[in-house]
Amino acid sequence: MSGNESNEKSMATINNVIDTTLEVTNDSGITDKHPSEKKMNSVIEKLNRPLRKCMHASVYFILAILVFLSFKSFKINGWKLYVFPILICFIYACTDEFHQSFVSGRTSEFTDVLIDTAGAVVGIIVVNLLFKIFHKSKKSLT
């Protein structure tokens, strides 16, 4: 899939979500009109890039958690449990962007690597907090 096809597909998805949301809100009486096509296209254009970047960060959020859990299952502890999953996600993001540099219609941007890595960092923070909360509540039950 070229960059233009990918961009068009995500814009079509956003359009479908907006249409469905408007249909539901109109049917339930929350709203009673549909914006013009020009207004819809403007909103879709504004939402496309941020939503695509959020999805990238979300994928790396999940990847980092899965790597963290696999390391945990192998009894890897200490700083390695937190740093290595982030490092693996960073390296994977770099190779993904490198690969995109060879794909017609796609761009390779280091800012995408940073967004992906930020998603991984947030994933490690969240899973660490959940482990601490679960471990703490487990101790209080005994």
CA pair distance 84, 80, nearest whole angstrom: 5
Return d(Cα 48, Cα 3) in angstroms, integer. 13
Instruction: Quickly count: other Cβ atoms within 10 Å of residue 76's Cβ.
Output: 13
Helix or strand holding residue 102 (H, E): none
Local confidence band at 14 (pLDDT 50, 70, 90 cut-offs): confident
Identify the domain containing residue 68 by its residue range: 3-141
Dist CA 109 CA 58 (whole Å): 18
Q: Total structural domains in the chain? A: 1
Provide the token pair at 57: 């960060």
> Quick check: pTM over 0.75?
yes
Burial 12-22 (b: 16+ CB within 10 A, else e): eebbeebeeeb
Q: Using one digit for the tens of pLDDT, what is the confidence trace for 30-86?
A: 877 777 888 888 888 888 889 889 999 999 999 999 999 999 999 999 999 999 999
